[in-house]
Amino acid sequence: MDFLTNLDLFSVGITVAAIGILGFTVFFTDRKSYTNRAFLLFALVTIFWGIVNYLSYRVSSPILILWLLRLVIASATLHAFSFFTLFYIFPKTQLTFPNWYKFILFPISILVFLINLTPLSFSRITQLSLTGSVSTVEKGPGMLLFVSLVIFLIAGGLYTLIKKMRCAIGLEKTQFKYIFFGTILTFTLIFGFNFFLPAAFDYVRLIPLGAVFIFPFVAFTAYAIFKHHLLNTKIIATEILTFVLAIVTLMEVVLSKDVPILVFRGSTFLLILSFGILLIKSVLNEVRQREQLQILTGKLKEANKQLKILDQARAEFISMASHQLRTPPSSIKWYLSALLADEFGKLPPEIKEALVRVNTTNNSMISLIDALLNVSRIERGKLEFVFEEADLAEITQITIDQLAPLAREKGLELVYNKPAAPLPKLIMDKEKLRQVINNMIDNAIKYSKKGKIEISIEKTKRDATLKVRDNGKGMSAKELDVSFSKYGRGKDSIKYSAGLGLGMYLAKVIVEQHNGKIWAESPGADKGSTFAFSVPINNKIKPTSLIFDLTKTQNVK
């Protein structure tokens, strides 16, 4: 190979590699897009036509030259057809082809393609030049069909491009301008080097470089498609790496002198190009997945924001509704207390007994409404605590005295194991901790059918711990896990209580705001349960009135 021959091969090889990389990159960007598919088709036909066109001027066998020339014009037919198809589709992603395209244009193009492979196009070579290249070829009647169809397809493609460009606006107009500029540049190069120079000066040296002249059109069209969604830098870096590797291996091919080495290095070039295209495909998939994740993350953040707004509105509604619902049972409680105290006269025993039951139910209703109010305060991020020095043992005794009648009614015994030594005063919100103790003992009464309920307070150097142990239904490991969650209720709990499962959730929030811990234990079903909490003796909380923003509390479920 002389220097110019090597340069021609290098130019065509680099162009083929670049067109292949661009074609598959566009296709892999959106494989369902009709425009991307049409571009890949055009790129592949261009590669085939460019290689055959180059070989037709580099072989010396007359028979092989004749067949290569037939392949050149046959592939040129497909080239013109893919050119028209690309302009007809661009920039649509979906398209229904009309009947004239499917039943007239496509069959005629295939027919002309097949005719070009027969002696009807080139019948024989009449003269070869001294270098062995074609000088004169005898043309058959099929050439008229070829020329007519190619002129029609190219003219129709250009007309479609100009028409669409004039009607387009915004981004599409810019895309069409890029394609139009690439088209004009390509046709200028083809006309100048493949027609004007051979016709005017009999200079055919540049005819084998047909693929090089078409590259500007491919490059500008690829950029126009990419401009709709610019590629990630990672993809561009992968393309550059693949292209550089292709250039290096192609240089080895160009410098080859022996046929076996040429075949080996040529195969290596094709393998590197193929694997490079597969690499680009995998990077594109990775980038696409990352983009989809980013979109989903954005949507999730927006949905989460909307859910927070709805949740806030729901909490405010519950708060408002609970305030309104609390007034009637509070009034009923006042009248029931007066009736049971005989302030309106002595009542018959049977009526008094009925009123006691009504009072118990009414108190349960008030407790439920209070729980809903506190939950709504938590959800809105505001729950007021009044911290002061108080005696945990005294608060416990008061709570036991209030719940003793309810326990006696069920035949249960409340046993209070007071601490052996007096407890020091603790910093606490005594009303809220009393509510925690009340919920724990009240639950023990509800879920027990017989026996006794033990309440004990133990003191260590650091903590004061209160435990409520019953002989009730007990809990499984799964029930223990949800016992302090919002609306968390154990199996068959409805048989014992009609509550909503908010008591222990509130207890957890209150205890944790006292820098304490709360937990539950149970040997298993029907073996009783123990609920307990501990608070620090030397608590860091200052005696004051505080409103905690509980939406920032990590421990609240």
Angle separating helix axes 62-89 and 34-56, nearest 10 degrees: 160
- CA angle 82/88/90 to nearest 5° reads 95
How much is the pLDDT for 488? 56
Is residue 70 within 8 Å of 56, Cβ to Cβ?
no
d(CA 429, CA 436): 11
Pick from 9-18, 197-206, 293-302: least confident: 197-206
More confident site: 233 or 478:
478
Euclidean distance between CA atoms 434 and 396, whole angstroms: 7
Q: Is 530 helix (H, G, I), strand (E, B) or coil?
A: strand
- SS3 per-residue string spanning 167-216: HCCHHHHHHHHHHHHHHHHHHHHHHHHHHHHHHHHCCCCCHHHHHHHHHH
Question: CA dihedral defined by 87, 90, 95, 96, rounded to 10 degrees?
Answer: -10
Which pLDDT score is estimated for 543?
63
Confidence of residue 554 (pLDDT cuts 50, 70, 90): very low
* Residue 467 or 504, more confident: 467
Retrieve residue 389's tokens: 């020095």
Contact, 26 vs 46, CB < 8 A?
A: no
As annotated, the residues of the chain forming the CATH 3.30.565.10 domain(s) are: 382-552
Residue 500 has pLDDT above 70, yes or no: no
CB atoms within 10 A of CB 509: 25
The pLDDT, as a whole number, for residue 82 is 94
368 has pLDDT over 60: yes
Residue percentage of the chain with pLDDT more than 90 = 21
Mean pLDDT, the chain, whole residue set: 79
Q: What is the average pLDDT across 177-181?
A: 88
For residue 304, what are its two tokens? 């989460």
Calculate mean pLDDT across residues 73-95: 92
What b/e readout covers 270-297, taking b as 16+ CB neighbours within 10 angstroms?
Answer: bebbeebbeebbebbeebeeeeeeeeee
Q: What is the pLDDT of residue 511?
A: 92
pLDDT at 310 over 90: no
pTM of this prediction exceeds 0.75: no
Average pLDDT over residues 412-424: 87
DSSP letter at 105 equals: I
Q: Which of 162-176, 297-311, 436-450, 462-476 has the lowest mean pLDDT?
A: 297-311
Relative to beta strand 463-469, strand 530-536 is antiparallel
Per-residue model confidence (pLDDT) at position 553: 46
Whole-number pLDDT of residue 489: 59
Q: Using 50, 70 and 90 to split pLDDT, how confident is the model at 419? A: confident
- Mean pLDDT within 138-144: 88
- Which has the higher per-residue pLDDT, 503 or 371? 503
- Over residues 486-490, the mean pLDDT reads 61
The C-alpha atoms of residue 378 and residue 4 are separated, in whole angstroms, by: 83
Q: Contact at 8 Å (CB) between 439 and 450?
A: no
- The answer to which of 293-302, 405-414, 506-515 has the lowest mean pLDDT is 293-302
Confidence band for 494, pLDDT divided at 50, 70 and 90 = low
**Which amino acid does the sequence have at 506?**
L
Q: Which of 379, 372, 324, 363 is nearest to 502 (CA)?
A: 372
Amino acid present at 443: N
Q: Is the pLDDT of residue 233 over 50?
A: no
Q: Identify the band that residue 483 occupies on the pLDDT scale cut at 50, 70 and 90.
A: confident
SS (H, E, C) 332-379: HHHHHHHHHCCCCCCCCHHHHHHHHHHHHHHHHHHHHHHHHHHHHHHH
Residue ranges of alpha helices (H) inside 229-258 are: 233-254
Dist CA 262 CA 1 (whole Å) = 11
Looking at residue 23, what is its pLDDT?
83
Using the predicted structure, report yes or no on whether residue 397 has a pLDDT greater than 80: yes
Q: How confident is the model at residue 453 (pLDDT cuts 50, 70, 90)?
A: very high
At 29-80, the pLDDT tens digits run 788 889 989 989 998 999 898 888 888 877 778 888 889 889 999 999 999 9
Per-residue CA distances from 346 to 359, 360, 405, 473 (Å): 17, 20, 21, 40
Question: CATH topology for 382-552?
Answer: Heat Shock Protein 90 (3.30.565)
